[in-house]
């Protein structure tokens, strides 16, 4: 039996995952990284993208995350996501609607604060749209 690492994915709405897995590939701010048992401890930010959970020698689940933070220790990886949606629950229509709303928010932005928020919304929506393909 392969060595396992405890994976926990938490969003503001709920605890989505808490189970031992072989590996988790996280969309880190500086690039994707794989967390395996005995990983060097680290804390990093998470960019919008798809998180892949590996178990049984294959990708067992894929989850869209809109950003957040990841903490990795030798025996656990915890992702605190701003938003997390299993890809099986993410529809193409939802992603397209979110992208259109983000484009409108960018067009309507007035001032630096509104523009920065709209740019982030657009980045998340673009990653979600790509994940829903």
126: left (phi over 0), alpha (psi -120 to 50) or beta: alpha
Per-residue pLDDT of the chain (133 residues; tens, 9 = 90+): 579 999 999 999 889 999 999 999 999 999 999 999 999 999 999 999 999 999 999 999 999 999 999 999 999 999 999 999 999 999 999 999 999 999 999 999 999 999 999 999 999 999 999 999 8
- For residues 125 and 127, what is the distance between their CA atoms, to the nearest angstrom? 5
Structure tokens at 112: 């630096």
Burial state string for 21-36 with b = 16 or more CB within 10 A and e = fewer than 16 = bbbbbbbbeeeebebb
DSSP assigned state of 93: H
DSSP 4-61: -EEEEEE-SS-EEEEEEESEEEEEETTEEEEE-TTPPPEEEEE-SEEEEEEETTEEEE
Predicted pLDDT of residue 82: 95
pTM score of the predicted model: 0.91
C-beta separation of 79 from 48 below 8 A: no
Residues constituting the chain: 133
């Amino acid at each position: 039996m392969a060595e396992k690492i405890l994976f926990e994915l938490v969003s503001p709405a709920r605890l989505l995952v808490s189970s031992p897995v072989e590996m988790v590939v996280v969309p880190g701010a500086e690039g994707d990284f794989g967390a395996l048992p005995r990983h060097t401890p680290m804390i990093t930010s998470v960019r919008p993208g798809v998180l892949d959970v590996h178990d049984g020698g294959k990708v067992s689940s894929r989850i869209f995350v809109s950003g957040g933070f990841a903490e990795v220790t030798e025996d656990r990886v915890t992702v605190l996501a701003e938003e997390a949606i299993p890809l099986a629950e993410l529809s193409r229509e939802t992603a397209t609607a979110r992208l259109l709303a983000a484009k409108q928010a960018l067009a309507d932005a007035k001032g630096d604060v509104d523009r920065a928020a709209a740019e982030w919304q657009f980045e998340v929506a673009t990653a979600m749209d790509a994940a829903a393909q």
